[in-house]
Amino acid sequence: MPNELHIVGIQADLFWENPSKNRSSFDEKINSLPANTDLIVLPEMFTTGFTMNPQKVAEKMDGPSITWMQKIALEKKVALTGSLVIEQNNNYYNRLVFVHPSGKTETYDKKHSFTLAGEDKVYTSGNQRLIVTYKGWKICPLICYDLRFPVWARNTENYDILIFMANWPVTRIKAWETLLKARAIENMSYVIGVNRTGIDKNNYEYSGNSLVVDYLGEELSSLQKSEVGIVTATISKANQNEIRKKLGFLNDQDAFKI
């Protein structure tokens, strides 16, 4: 049905600062997905892990990882999104790339740098949100630490889906799950949160706990601690619109801008 979207998030361990091995790993996982998949979400920095060594791994927008994403999107007629380390104009970005089935790309540079890890010292922050229109759905894709800042995620464009891709450590995983549901409830939006698993070279442990939540905060799909696999759900725009109209919460938002 045109008002339905089949979404998949891939939760996986990442090979440290090794884009080619990560691309091969995700190739295998993507090739096993159902043919009716509309949208695939990968974790934050899916080609490298959460590295603070961008000079070692950064790619250009015409580099091998973007080319790989476009190849998958074209061949499988699917949208694909994830963030990776990009160099542009002598700056490094934690950049989310959304690739349409046509190969067209749209980008978002992470707004909130994770200062606890020194991300602000090596990556340039973005200042523009991205709203993607795909198959009649409006999608707002954000990255990891952005999840803690509700004003930045605020639903002023009447979007239908919020995406958060992350390298979110196990020590704060309760906050991850709670905030994903909070963002869904306050914005009356579907939310998909995709986190990595494993232990990186800095000995930070990641448990995954990826999930899909509906516009009332109810879990539609989830993965348990350290499980490698997918979260998947078929979401309905008609159902969401019906509840939004019935409850009207978005009509009562405070009017302000940042």
- Catalytic, 44? Answer yes
Q: Are 49 and 204 in contact (CB under 8 A)?
A: no
Q: Which of these is catalytic: 59, 110, 119, 237?
A: 110
Report the pLDDT value the prediction gives residue 227, as an integer from 0 to 100.
85
Report the pLDDT value the prediction gives residue 256, as an integer from 0 to 100.
72
Q: Are 49 and 56 in contact (CB under 8 A)?
A: no
Report, as ranges of residue numbers, the positions in the chain whose pLDDT lies below 70. 1-2, 258
DSSP E strand boundaries for 36-114 = 39-41, 79-88, 91-99, 105-109
d(CA 109, CA 136): 24
- Catalytic, 110? Answer yes
Residue 196 DSSP one-character state: -
Paired residues of 256 in beta bridges: none
d(CA 20, CA 18): 6
Q: Which of these is catalytic: 17, 44, 119, 177?
A: 44
Q: Which of these is catalytic: 59, 144, 177, 237?
A: 144
Q: Are 22 and 29 in contact (CB under 8 A)?
A: no
- The pTM assigned to this predicted structure is 0.96
Q: What domains, with CATH codes, occur in the chain?
A: 4-252 (3.60.110.10)
Report the pLDDT value the prediction gives residue 2, as an integer from 0 to 100.
64
Task: Return the ∠ at Cα 112 (arms to 111 and 116), rounded to 5°.
Answer: 150
Report the pLDDT value the prediction gives residue 258, as an integer from 0 to 100.
66
- Catalytic, 144? Answer yes
Distance, CA of 245 to chain centre? 27
